[in-house]
């Protein structure tokens, strides 16, 4: 049956070839790596309108195209090597056509690397150990941070410091010259490094020095402790985590300790160890005085490093000062102990007995005086079993003295710090000081509520400050304030709380008032003027009250035109100067009365000359203005009325007759008048002459 298909195919191909052409039978392959699928894709071409209908593959080189079908197939070759692969195509016009092609399947490399265990702080060497059956490996990529990406390093041999102890997954990806890849992963171990230190005790020369290892390790354990003691650089002088050694001389020693862990990690340290000598402690002091500070001089030597001092003073106290000062409260022998300890713990001790002599208890009493008196001092010192040799006094005013009970005069009032020193025959002394007051004398001040120079009749209140106990005025009064109104020297004395007296005085001057002399009282008729006058004061310091009817109320000689009876009060002032140049004025007053009589004392003129020369131009009656209720009438010699003040107003000039009637001048001659006033019994009669143009003859 198969032979028949071949024959049919051959016939078909022959028949097709009569009409169409198969140009190329071929195919392409992707990279072929051992153990991976390869894609085989037909690249055959036909012409003449034919279409490929079948693609048949021979993958095992047995001549039969029955291993796979299709234009593109995937196939996995089992092993690396060269394979003869065939492709047969059939068109819809031609019979089958085939072609074979050799395909190489490349070997895949076997990824591998070595990574020895290292100690913390040492870089790990990662060395490639990958293999490949043919070809070569051309690329090595590393994953060091376990993130799945091979991008942390490249190369067949690398070093990496993982910093801390622990287990780290590391991956390697290798690629062959044909592009075939493989990967591998391993756990890289970094062993912990032990920490190393040691402590030192007993570093004083002559003692056994103890060296103790101080180590830690995060995992595992320390197996070996090796010491270097002699400075030769080899850790072979002692072993063990704690050793002792006695050094033969003081000085600085470079001591080393090396430790090894059970993983073989080694660490070491060096430390400068000072072997110190013991100090030589000593001090000097003089004999002491009870309750007096005594100084101690430190003479300690042979000190290496720093040193602390512990003093004990006979059970009375302690100190840590280098050179302390101490005061013994009791007399007698006292044992002083000094212990000096260096910063290396090396100590020495010294004992010394100090003799403490008794100290006197100095004191004195004194009198406090008012300035100008002498201060007496009384010594009250208690020897306290000692013998007093001398005394020294500082009186606080740059003066000194000696003796047991001195006295001293101070040149000023103040509070003086007096110092007295009592010396014993054993060289002990005591000092006492007291403030001694020399009281200042009080300085009273007198103030007045007004000036000390004033006018007679006034007074001034004198007040003294401060107030004494008692306060005594020269007037005999004992009050703080007194009132004075007469000239005199007023003195006051006060006694303060210390019994000190002080006094002061002030001059008071009372100035006499001016003595006025003035016009006598007078009586005048209504309308008359009255000259007034006054003297006895300054001309510019007069004032008349009331000022009614006066031409000048500030004149020493005013003119009064009273319309009624009136009394004037005149005040006259006289200016004075105080001792400091301040002016003050003293005033006196007096009175003058004017009685005004309403007696109709009228005084008509008897001649006038109305000729236009402005002299004696009209007929007037003096004082008539004081009686507004009067009527003046004028008659000619025939008794005819030529003027009446109550109706002939046109003939008036300022209320007086001008010698005219009805606007016409009357002739010269004698005329007769009558004056009648309300309230006046009877009338005034008289004559008046008009004389215009006559010249006066002599």
Distance CA 343, CA 608 (A): 146
Torsion region of 682: left, alpha or beta (phi above 0 gives left; psi -120 to 50 gives alpha): left
pLDDT of 382 reads 94
pLDDT of 15 reads 34
| DSSP-derived secondary structure for 346-359 | -EEEEEEEEEEE--
CATH of 195-275, one of 3.40.50.2000, 3.30.540.10, 3.40.50.300, 2.60.40.10: 2.60.40.10
**Which run of H or E residues covers position 16?**
helix 2-17
Residue 344's nearest CA partner among 425, 266, 278 is 278
Is the domain spanning 283-357 CATH 2.10.10.90? The answer is no
Task: Report yes or no: 25 and 98 within 8 Å, Cβ to Cβ.
Answer: yes
Instruction: Locate the DSSP E strands across 147-265.
Output: 153-154, 157-160, 166-176, 181-191, 195-201, 209-216, 222-228, 238-239, 242-245, 251-261
Distance CA 158, CA 623 (A): 156
**Residues 517-597, CATH architecture:** Sandwich (2.60)
For residues 498-514, b (16+ Cβ closer than 10 Å) or e, as one string?
eebebbeebebebbebb
Distance CA 178, CA 164 (A): 39
Q: What angle do CA 261, 266, 268 make, to 5 degrees?
A: 120
- Homologous superfamily in CATH for domain 445-511: Immunoglobulins (2.60.40.10)
Task: Report yes or no: 430 and 359 within 8 Å, Cβ to Cβ.
Answer: yes
Residue 242's nearest CA partner among 273, 218, 197, 210 is 210
The three-state secondary structure class of 629 is coil
pLDDT of 573 reads 92
Length of the chain: 698
Query: What CATH number is given for 113-191 in this structure?
Result: 2.60.40.10
Rg (alpha carbons) of the chain, rounded to whole number: 76
**Residue 626: φ, ψ to 5°:** -80, -10
pLDDT beneath 70: ranges in the chain: 1-20, 648-655, 694-698
CA dihedral 177, 178, 183, 188 (to 10 degrees): 0
**Which run of H or E residues covers position 559?**
strand 559-560
pLDDT of 650 reads 59
pLDDT of 18 reads 39
| DSSP-derived secondary structure for 368-424 | -EETTSEEEEEE--B-TTS-EEEEEEE-SSS-EEESSS-EEE-SS-EEEEEEEEEEE
The whole-model pTM stands at: 0.41
List, in order, residues 6 or more apart from 184 with CB less than 8 Å away. 111, 112, 113, 130, 171, 172
pLDDT of 698 reads 34
- pLDDT one-digit tens code per residue, 672-692: 999 888 877 778 898 999 898
- pLDDT one-digit tens code per residue, 267-309: 999 999 988 888 999 999 988 999 889 999 999 998 888 999 9
Distance CA 474, CA 477 (A): 7
Task: Name the one residue in this structure whose structure tokens are 């025959």.
Answer: 425
Residues of the chain with CATH 2.60.40.10: 2-105, 113-191, 195-275, 283-357, 364-439, 445-511, 517-597
pLDDT of 654 reads 58
User: How many other C-beta atoms lie within 10 A of the C-beta of residue 272?
Assistant: 9
CATH of 2-105, one of 3.40.50.10800, 3.90.110.10, 2.60.40.10, 1.10.10.60: 2.60.40.10
List beta partners, residue 252: 274
Rounded to a whole number, what is the largest CA-CA distance in the chain?
216
Query: What CATH number is given for 364-439 in this structure?
Result: 2.60.40.10
- pLDDT one-digit tens code per residue, 16-63: 343 447 889 999 998 788 888 899 999 999 998 899 999 999 999 999
Structural tokens at position 638: 């025939």
**Residues 603-690, CATH architecture:** Sandwich (2.60)
């Amino acid at each position: 049956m198969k032979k028949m298909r071949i024959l049919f195919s051959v016939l078909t191909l022959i028949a097709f070839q009569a009409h169409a052409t198969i140009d190329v039978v071929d195919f392409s392959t992707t990279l072929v790596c051992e153990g991976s699928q390869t894609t085989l894709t037909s690249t055959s071409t036909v012409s003449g309108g034919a279409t490929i209908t079948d693609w048949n593959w021979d993958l095992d080189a047995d001549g039969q195209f029955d291993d796979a079908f299709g234009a593109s197939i995937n196939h996995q070759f089992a092993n690396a090597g060269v394979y003869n692969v065939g492709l047969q195509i059939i068109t819809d016009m031609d019979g089958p056509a085939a072609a074979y092609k050799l395909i190489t399947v490349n070997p895949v490399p076997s990824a591998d690397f070595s990574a020895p265990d290292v100690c913390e702080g040492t870089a790990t060497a990662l060395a490639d150990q990958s293999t490949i059956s043919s070809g070569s490996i051309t690329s090595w990529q590393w994953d060091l941070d376990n993130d799945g990406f091979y991008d942390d390093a490249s190369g067949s041999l690398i070093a990496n410091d993982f910093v801390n102890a622990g287990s780290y997954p590391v991956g390697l990806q290798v690629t062959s010259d044909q592009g075939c890849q493989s990967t591998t992963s391993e756990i890289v171990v970094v062993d912990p490094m032990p920490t190393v230190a040691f402590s030192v005790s007993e570093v004083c020369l002559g003692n056994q020095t103890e060296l103790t290892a101080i180590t830690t390790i995060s995992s595992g354990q320390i197996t070996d402790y090796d010491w270097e003691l002699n400075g030769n650089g080899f850790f072979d002088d002692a072993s063990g985590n704690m050793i002792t050694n006695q050094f033969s001389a003081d000085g600085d020693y470079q001591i080393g300790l090396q430790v090894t862990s059970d993983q073989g990690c080694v660490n070491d340290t060096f430390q400068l160890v000072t072997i110190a000598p013991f100090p030589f402690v000593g001090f000097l002091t003089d004999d002491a005085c009870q309750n007096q500070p005594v100084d101690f001089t430190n003479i300690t030597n042979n000190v290496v490093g720093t040193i602390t001092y512990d003093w004990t003073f006979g059970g009375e106290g302690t100190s840590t000062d280098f050179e302390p000062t101490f005061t013994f409260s009791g007399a007698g022998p006292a044992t002083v102990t000094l212990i000096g300890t260096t910063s290396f713990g090396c100590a020495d001790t010294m004992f010394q007995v100090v003799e403490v002599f008794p100290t006197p208890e100095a004191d004195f009493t004194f009198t406090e005086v008012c300035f100008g008196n002498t201060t007496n001092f009384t010594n009250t010192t208690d020897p306290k079993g000692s013998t007093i040799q001398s005394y020294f006094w500082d009186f606080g005013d740059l003066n000194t003295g000696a003796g047991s009970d001195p006295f001293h005069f101070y040149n000023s009032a103040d509070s003086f710090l007096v110092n007295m020193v009592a010396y014993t025959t054993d060289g002990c002394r005591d000092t006492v000081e007291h403030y001694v007051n020399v009281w200042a004398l009080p300085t009273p001040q007198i103030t007045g509520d007004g000036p000390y120079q004033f006018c007679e009749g006034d007074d001034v209140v004198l007040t003294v400050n401060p107030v004494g106990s008692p306060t005594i005025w020269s007037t005999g009064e004992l009050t703080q304030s007194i009132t004075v109104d007469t000239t005199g020297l007023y003195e006051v004395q006060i006694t303060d709380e210390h019994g000190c007296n002080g006094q002061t005085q002030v001059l008071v001057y009372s100035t006499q008032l001016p003595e006025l002399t003035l016009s006598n009282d007078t009586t005048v008729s209504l309308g008359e003027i009255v000259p007034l006058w006054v003297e006895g004061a300054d001309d510019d310091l007069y004032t008349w009250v009331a000022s009614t009817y006066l031409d000048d109320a500030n004149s020493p000689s005013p003119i009064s035109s009273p319309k009624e009876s009136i009394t004037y009060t005149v005040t006259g002032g006289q200016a004075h100067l105080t001792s400091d140049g301040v002016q003050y004025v003293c005033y006196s007053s007096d009175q003058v009365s004017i009685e005004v009589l309403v007696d109709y004392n009228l005084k008509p003129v008897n001649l006038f000359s109305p000729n236009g020369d402005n002299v004696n131009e009209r007929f007037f009656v003096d004082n008539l203005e004081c009686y507004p209720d009067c009527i003046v009438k004028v008659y000619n010699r025939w008794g005819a009325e030529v003027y009446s003040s109550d109706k002939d107003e046109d003939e008036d000039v300022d209320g007086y007759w001008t010698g005219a009637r009805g606007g016409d001048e009357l002739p010269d001659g004698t005329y007769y008048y009558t004056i009648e006033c309300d309230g006046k019994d009877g009338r005034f009669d008289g004559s008046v002459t008009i004389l215009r143009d006559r010249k006066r003859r002599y």
